[in-house]
A and B are shown apart, each in its own frame.
Chain A
Amino acid sequence: MALASSNLAEAKAPRASDLEIVALNGMFDERDTLGVIRYALEELLPGEPLAVVSSFGADSAVLLHHIAQVDPHKEVLFLETGKHFAETLEYVETIKQRFGLTNIRFLEPDAADLKRFDPHGTLWDTDPDSCCHIRKTEPLKGALDQYAGWITGRRRHQTQERGVLPHFELTSDVRIKVNPLAYWTYEDVKAYKAEHDLPEHPLVQHGYRSIGCAPCTSATREGEDPRAGRWRGLNKAECGIHFDFNGQIASPAAKLENRTLFKSGRFIADPFHVWGEGDAPETSAYVHVPLAIWQENRDAFIAADHPIGLLIEPGDDFEAIAEDFDRFASIAVAFPKFTDGRGYSYARLLRERYGFTGELRATGDILTDQVPFLRRCGFDALTVTNEATKKALENDALAEVSVYLQPVGSRGEAPVGTRPFLRRADQ
């Protein structure tokens, strides 16, 4: 293993220049998925193949179905971490049969690494970051080295920071990323699955929404969690590995009881960390960057183009960087003391004035009683350390006032619980 990451950056420089790549966007009709794939596989870089990586998760079938139509013999990479659900492996087989895919390549962890770092197979429990590194990051790096880029299943509608996702991108490490499903909505996916009777991942019917390695995926059944959907706008946790392939590879997870990120009605693994020692604008990803650090290193961050977040402390003049807000996948607003309510105003400004649609999370000293206020001001994620608050959230025991006597601007709120004059259609 041990491919230095600089190798990756220097890897195959695409033969096409930036401009040519960018110019490709617009060549294809938004929904011409097959056209995009065909072009990517056959014409874009003749003799320089692009990789297809799939997690064979809940959302993978649509892309694979298209790939199979263009070229059933195309190599499809699958990270066989050794920790998958049996159902996932079964699903790989089903897809293979049904779509007639002939070349699915399992990327396995380096045996020596496993022996050395994870002899008992329990590394996920003690150090999930390292486990992911051995089982995902390294094998993937090795495989991708042979490619000039890859085809992803990412969609604009999946998570908010992808709002402007094009068909063709040149990434910071000068690889080409092709996103044939960029314009697909969730409804499109559903309709397509139904129309073509695509097989579902067996665990979907058991309520799993995002499926990764077994130890790190927790079951959440549909309909079981009345709070789901309250944290609007977020489907699931982002992939925690640096590559950000298709958002479907499971994220590294902290031990369940250590999970502090509450989102979509449950505690999930937090892909983000707070900026600290060892972080650098060029290399760090999934980090909440303090405002001042962002301001000092803005160019470097933008050049690196990793998914990052912003950290706003009370008193920060965050509006000074308003034009950058949509660069952040997540904005964390700190509540160092729960009695300091400045963050509520910040949240409303971010949401209502600046139209920020990414993850907005409250971090710090949060009491259960504040959760409804936070949510109404536009927060859709919380990092909770207060034990009592954690317990209440886990047990769905928030005593809440569901009727509002005044509107705030969060989307979708006005019609439900507000005064008669405010019960008007959502704008």
Chain B
Amino acid sequence: MYRYDEFDAAFVRQRTEQFADQVRRRISGELNEDQFRPLRLMNGLYLQLHAYMLRVAVPYGTLSSKQLRRLAEIARKYDRGYGHFTTRQNIQFNWPRLNDVPKILAELADVEMHAIQTSGNCIRNVTTDQFAGAAADEIIDPRPIAEIIRQWSSLHPEFTFLPRKFKIAITGAPQDRAAVKFHDIGLMAKTGPNGEIGWTVYVGGGLGRTPMVAKQIRDFVDHEHLLAYLEAILRVYNRYGRRDNKYKARIKILVHEAGIDTIRDQVEEEFAAMKDGILKLPQEELDRITAYFAAPAFKEVEQKTIDLPKLKITDPAFARFIERNTHPHFRDGYVSVTVSMKPIGGTPGDATDIQMEAIADLAEKYSFDELRVSHEQNLVLPHVALDDLRAVYEGLVDIDLAEGNTGLITDIISCPGLDYCALATARSIPIAKSISQKFSAPERQEQIGDLKIKISGCINACGHHHVGHIGILGLDRKGVENYQITVGGDASEDAAVGSILGAGIAGDDVPDAIEKLVDLYIEKRESADETFIAAFRRLGEAPFKEALYGTR
């Protein structure tokens, strides 16, 4: 894992002091809220429905046990005893007091964490595959490059007042677990013409009001020139991105309006001018950063496989946990374990201080001190030996987070919605909870198989409903909450935006509606191996529409 050197430490310390000063100026009235807003936003501080909300960056979703413990402590000391993991691999505290924020930031700085650029119109925390550096299917560990991008983008003097926020995602595996095509820039590892590894660059993806799948802007850029290429894109965006309308200010609109070819030409022109300038990344620097991400010292494990069929009889819950919550590791005898933060009926992504501390302990004992936050709002123990799997499982059972439901219908992504969010038009957490309860029976979930439900409380789409296999969008119809259902979205390498099935429905009817869609799928699928999304692609939306609204 990356460790701060004296530079990073000084950087974060100074930034924390700077923000403390800004808070002081706000409290003293020297800054009014208008002036304070962009400053606090650059430091991850939002004003929500009930209170300030502080969003802390978890750089590319990587945490150490010590850091998670510190987050738990902050939740206990300054919040109401819990934190909320977001779809951006960050964590949010929903109830800090403005006065306390500088203290929180100082305590975070002690463990090499900060809230820099977790909001505001700047380059946000870069996100990646939660199994990075562990997954069996990886071409390259994306974390070193993610770290280099993090450094490059931190308080970049040219790009802190962009037209709109800017999100970069990077994946080192062909199976895209980072939804790169739904980011402003998506980077996908690729083997180049001479066998060297570099990146395919996508630009202009995004969700929100106008969901768009990113377009490929460059087939291949090597490590050495990646930063220059990114800077070229950012400069073109900073100069030409729309600033007249905040809903049209993301780069996706620029790409859409100008056309990818125009944008590509502009970027290439910029790139040509600065390609061999100061941003050229020397191999030694890449090596230096890569060394921080060296694989841990794996031990010789006894157990190489697990007899799942047998376990299914003797210990079905554990078997389900293994089946759903482990991911193949490149190292024999190891897996990555997903800790589902979606207990039945719980709030997706919420973790109490006690849970965080327990998970930190498990990571320390069984996963070389490493943890990940996934964009699906779960936590991951990336390197767990099969020998230790039971111990991990039992540890999770103790804190009620052993649900073996990763990727299943109850592994729901949900934004905070009307319970917290000032922009919300409807509740989303209660909808998630009611669906989760409706499908709580493990057998039922297993029967349904892979199915991603995503819920947003307004058209800003923080819950990524557009890319849910089933997406739910909460709207406000004349003062009444109303939910629009989409089907067929996909955030993976087969990126697709879901289609709206028809008129919105009442919140109370959502679980039943989902059930109708699910029943239709089960009835129509060719076999249990055909997933919901695969069946949807084969069948088209008509039968789903009919299932929901009847024939007209």
Contact = CB atoms under 8 A, between A and B. Distances in A.
Interface residues of A, number: 38
Given A339-B161, A409-B278, A421-B281, A345 B239 contact: yes
Contacts of A353: 273
Contacts of B338: none
B35 interface: yes
A402 to B, nearest CB: 6
B8 A405 contact: yes
Contact of B158 (A372, A399, A408): A408
B285 interface: yes
A169 to B, nearest CB: 34
B265 to A, nearest CB: 15
B11 interface: yes
Nearest to A373: B157
Contacts of B10: 402-403
A344 B8 contact: no
B156 interface: yes
A400 interface: yes
Given A340-B161, A344-B238, A345-B238, A369 B22 contact: yes
Contact of A344 (B153, B154, B155, B161): B161
Contact of A403 (B14, B31, B243): B14
Interface string B279-312: 1011011001000000000000000000000000
Contacts of B136: none
Interface centre among B18, B39, B161, B239 (most CB of A within 10 A): B161
A333 interface: no
A388 B278 contact: no
Interface string A50-91: 000000000000000000000000000000000000000000
A233 B97 CA distance: 45
A348 interface: yes
A342 interface: yes
**A346, A367, A376, A419, most chain B CB atoms within 10 A:** A419
B239 A342 contact: yes
A341 B151 CA distance: 20
A404 to B, nearest CB: 8
A407 B278 contact: yes
B30 A422 contact: no
Interface residues of B, number: 45
B30 A405 contact: no
Contacts of B277: 352, 409
Nearest to B162: A341
A420 interface: yes
B14 A400 contact: yes
A338 B38 contact: yes
A112 interface: no
A216 interface: no
Interface string B25-59: 10000110001001100000000000000000000
A344 B157 contact: yes
B399 to A, nearest CB: 37
Contacts of B243: 314, 340, 342
Contacts of B288: 420-421
Given A341-B162, A402-B14, A403-B7, A421 B284 contact: yes
B160 interface: yes
Contacts of A417: 7
A420 B151 contact: no
A374 B161 CA distance: 11
Which of A342, A399, A406, A409 has most chain B Cβ within 10 Å? A406
A406 B151 contact: yes
A330 to B, nearest CB: 21
Interface in B1-26: 5, 7-8, 10-11, 14-15, 17-18, 21-22, 25
Contacts of B17: 399
A215 to B, nearest CB: 32
A240 B225 CA distance: 46
Interface in A348-388: 348, 352-353, 367, 369-370, 372-374, 376-377, 388
A332 interface: no
Given A341-B238, A345-B235, A419-B151, A401 B161 contact: no
B157 A376 contact: yes
Contacts of B15: 401
A338 B160 CA distance: 11
A377 B22 contact: no
Interface string A388-421: 1000000000011111111111000010010111
Interface in B129-151: 151
A388 B11 CA distance: 25
Given A338-B161, A401-B15, A405-B151, A422 B278 contact: yes
Contacts of B31: 388
A399 B22 contact: yes
Given A339-B161, A369-B18, A406-B154, A414 B281 contact: no
B330 interface: no
B185 to A, nearest CB: 16
Contacts of A405: 7-8, 11, 151-152, 154-155
Contact of A407 (B159, B161, B279): B279
B456 interface: no
A353 B162 CA distance: 21
A152 to B, nearest CB: 38
B225 to A, nearest CB: 15
A175 B288 CA distance: 63
Contacts of A414: 278
Contacts of A346: 239
Contact of A406 (B22, B152, B162, B274): B152
Interface string B156-178: 11111110000000000000000
Nearest to A427: B278
A136 to B, nearest CB: 40
A104 to B, nearest CB: 50
B121 interface: yes
Contacts of A407: 278-279
Interface in A121-146: none
Nearest to A402: B14
Most chain-B CB neighbours within 10 Å: which of A314, A373, A399, A409? A399
A73 B532 CA distance: 101
Nearest to A374: B157
A348 B158 CA distance: 8
Contacts of A403: 7, 10-11, 14
A401 B11 contact: yes
A101 B156 CA distance: 57
Contacts of A404: 11, 155
Interface string B234-249: 0100110001000000
Contacts of A374: 157
A342 to B, nearest CB: 6
Contacts of B162: 341
Question: Could you say which of A352, A409, A421 has the most chain B C-beta atoms within 10 Å of its C-beta?
Answer: A421
B157 A377 contact: yes
A341 B281 contact: no
Interface string A144-182: 000000000000000000000000000000000000000
Contacts of A344: 157-161, 238
Interface string B205-232: 0000000000000000000000100000
B33 to A, nearest CB: 14
B279 A401 contact: no
Contacts of B121: 339, 341
Nearest to B42: A369
15 contacts: A340-B161, A341-B159, A342-B239, A344-B161, A345-B158, A373-B155, A399-B14, A399-B18, A403-B10, A403-B14, A405-B11, A406-B227, A407-B279, A408-B158, A420-B285
Given A401-B15, A405-B8, 6 more contacts: A342-B239, A353-B273, A373-B160, A377-B158, A402-B10, A404-B155
The 10 closest A-B pairs by CB, nearest first: A341-B161, A421-B285, A376-B157, A399-B18, A373-B157, A399-B21, A405-B151, A401-B14, A406-B152, A344-B158
